[in-house]
Structure 1
Amino acid sequence: MTPAVKALIVLGVVALLFVTEAIPLAVTAMSGAIAMGLLGIIPVKTVFSGLSNSTVVLFAGMFVIGAAMFHTGLAQKIGTTVVRFTGTSENGLLFGTMLIAAVLSSVTSNTGTTAALLPVVLGICQVAKIPASRQLMPLAFGAGLGGIITLVGTPPNIIVAGALKNAGFQPFGFFEFAWIGIPLTVVGIIYMMFIGKYLLPKAELSADAAVDAEAAKEATASSADPKKMWIAGLILLGVVVAMALGLKWLPLEVAAIIGAILAVLTGCLKEKQAYQGIDWVTIFLFAGMMPIASAIDKSGAGKMIADAVVGAMGGAPSPLLITAVLFILSAGLTQFMSNTACTALLAPIGISIAKGLGASPHAVLMAIAVAASCAFATPVGTPPNTIVLGPGGYKFMDYVKAGTGLMVVCFIVSLIVIPLVWPFFPK
């Protein structure tokens, strides 16, 4: 049995376990890396090399900075201010909710953003007599769209940038994702305001949700510290500016860790809270998938998959068709499995296919990353969707109805914008 076949078998098992989540995602990823080492596909000493990857450090730093925003009450304060400014009409509230969720998610965790804004939106829905079900799903969708805007907005963006760098290509810049992220966010908000909202149920706010909202608001108010809010905001601003400038002497991961250290030293959050703010599942999932991606590439498995995909499309498909197919595949998988796992799984395959066509892989990988963030059609596609499930009184089919249309809109916009910004055959 060739190394390529062995790698494909391991990859198939990993993919199956990702979809079914029969065992924890992080355990699956690390087990896959270990299997690749024990089977001799990659050197055993490189099995845990992903843990030393600079991207893992970047993840950790940004998780801590994001947690500082929530612990100081800054995220909640921003949310309340924006929603108050946009008013309490259904469309005004929907616009304000999605806008602030998108802005916050572009530089912090979309899960944390949704959790922080949930009690704010619930409270306003109570006062305005608007069913929470009309606002909470748009909140989750806004957080998902906003994450696409910057390099650190969502794990898939960092993964494709790292995959390009590891393959010897120029990685995406910090704000380069905004070329597609901002149009998708704008179109997504418009869609939800004029079409999507009619596909949402009109479930009334439950008594339990109302009590939870009030308790959360009180907890936030008691922990809010104006001075620490300012400090947390300045730290985040400083880190984002440093990353955006692309300073050669200050790598992204170093800027993120400096910001995280400052957040703890200034008392924006305690050391224990900093550790708790790190999403360790994402850390180990990414660290485990790095060696797997390397094994797929070096064993020839990636090329084998690429040849099969190209062959199934007639042998010489257009790069646009390949991009469309990988977008649909990524968007389909991410409805039931981690967007991080989905991107890590497809990124090396996308690079191999692009190489086979002699095309730049940037457009293909951007499509994979964007599609992985379009987890709108199920309540388990992304944590924000799950967070609003109970408070919004939603059922599985509510996500299918409202989310599928948004996915189609994102697909169309992506196929128009991505090739224009990242040409398949740059001059």
Structure 2
Amino acid sequence: MSPAIITLIVLGIVAVLFITEAVPLAITAMGGAISLGILGIIPMNTVFSGLSNSTVVLFAGMFVIGAAMFHTGLAQKVGTTVVRIVGTSEGGLMFGTMAIAAVISSVSSNTGTTAALMPVVLGICAVAGIPASRQMMPLAFGAGLGGIITLVGTPPNIIAAGALKNAGYQPFGFFEFAWIGVPLTVVGILYMMFVGKYLLPKADLSVDVVIDAEAAKEAMASNADPTKMWITALTLIGVVVVMALDLKMFTLEIAAVCGAIILILTKCLSEKQAYQGIDWVTILLFAGMMPIATAMDKSGAGKLIADAVVNLMGGSPSPIFVTAVLFALSGGLTQFMSNTACTALLAPIGISIAKSIGASPHAVLMAIAVAASCAFSTPVGTPPNTLVLGPGNYKFMDYVKAGTGLVIVCFIVSLIIIPMVWPFFPGK
């Protein structure tokens, strides 16, 4: 059996386990890399090479900075201030909720952002007599959209950039995602305010949820420290500015780690809280998929998949058609599996397909990463969706009704903007 076929079999097993989550995601990814090493597809000394990838360090640093925002009460404070400004009308609250969720999640965890803002929004809903079902889903959607805006906003963005770098291409810059992330966020907010809100249920807010929300607000308020908030805010701003400047002597991962160290030394969060703030599943999943991506390239498995997909699309498909197909594939998978796993799985395939038609892979990778963040149609597509399921008293079909239209809108906007910003044939 050829190395390419063996790699495809391993990849197929990994894909099934990613979708079903019968085995934890991190174990699936690392198990796939180990299997390819044992089978002789990649050298044994490269099985864990993903752990030494600089992107892993970037992940860890930003997870710690994001955790500090929540431990110091900074995220809560910002959310409360914005909501106070926009008022307590249903439309104003929806706009403020989605906007601030998008801004915070652009530089921190989408899940953490949703968790931090939930008690704020729930409390205001209870006081204003607005059903939580009208605001919880927009909160989760706003966090998901905002994550697209920067390189560190969501794991799929970092994975796409890492895949490009690993394949020898220029990776995406820190704010490069904003070209598509900002328009999608604006359009997404407008969609929810003028279309999506009519598709949301009007379930009443339960007494238990109100009590839980108030208790959470009091607990977070008791931990708030103005000095630590300022230190965290200034550190975050400093890290973002340094990353945006793209200094060769001060790389992204060094900026992230320095920011994390400053926050630990200044007691904005403890060493234990820093370790707990790191999403080890994401890190191990990324580290495990890097050797698998290498195996796909070296064994020829990636080329086999690319050739098969290209032939199915007519032999010489247009790059825009390829991008649309991969967006649809990524957007479909992400509704039922981790967006991180989805991007890690499709990124090397996207690069191989782009190579096979002689196009730049940047547009294809951007489409895959963006689509992976458009997990709006199910409650299991992304943790923020799951978080608001109970407080919003939602059913599965509520996500299908309100979220599917948003996915379609994102698909249309992406196919218009992505080729304009990342040409398929630059220089021609």
| Partner secondary structure for residue 388 of structure 2 | helix
Per-residue deviation, residues 57-99 of structure 1 (Å, max 9, x unmatched): 0000000000001000000000000011011100100000000
SS in 1 for 2:402: helix
TM-score of the superposed pair, with normalisation by structure 1: 1.00
Secondary structure (helix, strand or coil) at the match of 1:397 reads helix
Shift of 1:407: 0.1
One-letter identity of the residue aligned with 1:399: Y
How far apart are 1:211 and its partner, in Å?
1.1
1:42 and 2:47 are equivalent in the alignment: no
C-alpha separation between the residues in 1 aligned to 2:39 and 2:388?
43
1:333 corresponds to:
333
**C-alpha separation in 1, matches of 2:392 and 2:344:** 31
Determine the C-alpha separation between the residues in 1 that align with 2:56 and 2:199: 39
Instruction: Tell me by how many angstroms 1:208 deviates.
Output: 1.5
Is 1:358–2:327 an aligned residue pair? no
- Take 1:65 and 1:335, find their aligned partners in 2: how far apart are those partners? 28
Residue 220 of structure 1 is matched in structure 2 by 220
Cα deviation for residue 168 of structure 1 reads: 1.0
Structure 1 CA distance for aligned equivalents of residues 77 and 18 of structure 2 = 37
Cα drift, residue 271 of structure 1: 0.6
Are 2:184 and 1:164 equivalent residues in the alignment? Answer: no
Residue 374 (structure 2) aligns with:
374
Q: How does 1:57-136 map to 2 (within 5 A)?
A: 57-136=57-136
1:239 alignment counterpart: 239
Is 1:191–2:195 an aligned residue pair?
A: no
The reply to whether residue 12 of structure 1 matches residue 41 of structure 2 is: no
Separation in 1 of the partners of 2:408 and 2:111?
Answer: 23
**Equivalent-residue separation in structure 2 for 1:18 and 1:359 (angstroms):** 29
SS for the counterpart of 1:202 is coil
C-alpha distance after superposition, 1:2-34 (max 9, x if no partner): 000000000000000000000101010010010
1:317 match: 317
Give the Å deviation of 1:41: 0.7
Residue type matched to 2:285 in 1? Answer: L
2:210 match: 210
1:132-191 CA deviation, whole Å, 9 max, x = no partner? 000000000000000000000000100111111111111110000000000000000000
Deviation at 1:206, TM superposition (A): 1.1
Give unpaired runs (5+ residues) of structure 2: none
1:310-357 per-position Cα deviation (integer Å, ceiling 9, x unaligned): 000110000000000000000000011111110010001101111111
| In 1: Cα distance, 2:348 partner to 2:310 partner | 15
- Aligned residue identity for 1:257: V
**Partner SS, residue 83 of structure 2:** helix
CA deviation string 1:225-270 (max 9, x = no partner): 0010000000100100010000100110011000001110001001
Structure 2 Cα separation of the partners of residues 27 and 208 of structure 1 = 37
Separation (CA, whole Å) in 1 of partners of 2:362 and 2:223: 44
Distance 1:130 1:33 in 2: 50
How far apart in 1 are the matches of 2:38 and 2:207?
54
Report the counterpart of residue 280 of structure 1 in structure 2.
Answer: 280
> Which amino acid in structure 2 is aligned with residue 42 of structure 1?
I
SS at 1:426 equivalent? coil
Give the Cα separation in 2 of the matches to 1:404 and 1:180: 19
Correspondence 1:295 to 2:295: yes
Tell me if 1:138 matches 2:138.
Answer: yes
Aligned length: 427
Q: Which residue number corresponds to residue 389 of structure 2?
A: 389
Note the C-alpha offset of 1:207: 1.6
Counterpart Cα distance in 2 of 1:249 and 1:319: 36
Check if 1:174 corresponds to 2:174. yes
**Post-superposition CA distance 1:274-324 (Å, at most 9, x none):** 000001110111111111111111110000000000000110000000000
Residues 355-407 of structure 1, C-alpha deviations (whole Å, 9 max, x = no match): 11111110000000000000000001000000000111001110000000000
CA distance in 2: counterparts of 1:66 and 1:181, whole angstroms: 19
SS across alignment from 1:389: coil
* Cα distance in 2, alignment partners of residues 327 and 351 from structure 1: 14
Match of 1:204, SS state, is: coil
CA distance in 2, matches of 1:281, 1:389: 22
In 1, Cα distance between equivalents of 2:10 and 2:124: 49
Q: 1:401, 1:28 → 2: CA distance?
A: 32
Give the letter aligned to residue 395 of structure 1: K
What amino acid sits opposite 1:72 in the alignment?
A: T
